[in-house]
Every structure is written in structure tokens, then in C-alpha cells.
Amino acid sequence: MMLYIVRHGETDWNREHKVQGRTDIPLNDYGRRLARETAEGMKDIPIDLCFTSPLLRAKETAQIILEGRNVPLCDEERIQEISFGRYEGLYCGGENQDPESEAFNRFFHDTGNYIPPEDAETIPQLYGRTGSFLKEISERADLADKNILVSTHGAAMTSLLNRIRGNLSVEHFWKDEVPPNCSVTMVEIKDRKAQIVKEGMIFYKEKVKKWKTV
């Protein structure tokens, strides 16, 4: 089994440095362009099945990448983005930073001391549900010889890749940084064991934008 794990394209909230989480924000035109260029770069890779977060930005990214192909799309809630509760909609960077941005930005810069709001999700909870998804598909005999697109989000993708690396640390969650929009990582699953084959592939021509909160 080969997984092609992709982070969604850019949204207006990405550009404005607003916290998204479970808030259902669609791609912007630039994000759609990144997805189209990613589709062109992946056009010769056969894809048998797609698991996508049900959130619009991930689903639309998958639809653009797979446009013109007869590939089933399966909504999978376990790979949707981490919930930030009341922090969602917060300006966490740029000139318009909200007063609570410092507390939220610990999620990126001091993850071990990040305290999620009561209505949010913890990183161990994120590790748990994404790990459940990975374990389930790894054990499915009907998927053993398939190429699968997994369309997800920055923190959810990092959670999946950290588990494959054997790192379930909260403190070092972002050791390998936030995956860029529309970056693709290949993961091979053989005998129920997952291994990263190639990480952070970029198929578009634009300079890769790294997430910044300041």
C-alpha cells in the first residue's frame, strides 16, 4: 500500500493568520491553483481510493487533484483538523494579532505548555484518532496493493507522520515544522508497518510558504 498524504491548499484564513481548526473555510483562488498544479504533478501516479477530511478545504483539494479520474472519495472524520475551540477565528499573526494570540501560539512555539480551551481538543486526542485511522487502513487486506490519497490538514498530517516516525511527544510535536499547503508525503505500508518514503514533495512553482505566527 502506498499513501500520498497531502495538506490542503491555501485558504483566506491561512493568508490572514487566523486560527482555523474545525471552522469550515473553503480554499481561496491561490489554494485552488496550488491544488491544480499538484494535480498536474501527480497525473501519472495511479490513485485507487481517497480518504479525505470532511472539511471543505481538504475535500476540495482532493477533488481538484483527482479531477477527471474515477476515484472514490471517502469522508474520514479521524483525519480532520484538530479543534481549537474558542480560539478559532483568532488573529494569531501579523498586525492584527488578538490579545489571546500569545496563549494560542504556544501550540506552535511551546507546544508542551499549550493549554487548549475547554471546548477544544488536546494533542494526545489528535494522536489517538489519527493513529486509529492509520492502524485500521494498515490492517485492511483489501487495500494492501492500493495507492491511496489522504487529504488532510497541517496538525492532523503532522500527527500521522509523527506516529510513523515513532514520535508521540507533545513537546516535540512540531519538530519537523508545519507541512506547507499542498505538500505531499509518500508513505509505504507493508506487513502493517508504515515507513516514510519521500517527504514534503512540492509540485507547484511558487516559493514554498512556511507558516508564521509573528
- Residues with catalytic function: 8, 81
User: Can you tell me the distance from the alpha carbon of 49 to that of 33, in angstroms, rounded to the nearest whole number?
Assistant: 23
User: Where do runs of H (alpha helix) occur along 91-191?
Assistant: 101-109, 123-138, 154-165
User: Can you tell me the distance from the alpha carbon of 146 to that of 155, in angstroms, rounded to the nearest whole number?
Assistant: 25
Rounded to a whole number of angstroms, the CA Rg of the chain reads 16
Q: Give the contacts of 27 (CB within 8 A, at least 6 positions apart).
A: 8, 9, 10, 11, 35, 56, 57, 60, 61
- Asked if residue 76 lies in contact with residue 50, where contact means CB atoms within 8 angstroms, the answer is no
Amino acid at site 96: N
Q: Give the contacts of 70 (CB within 8 A, at least 6 positions apart).
A: none
- Please provide residue 44's backbone torsions phi and psi, each rounded to the nearest 5 degrees: -95, 0
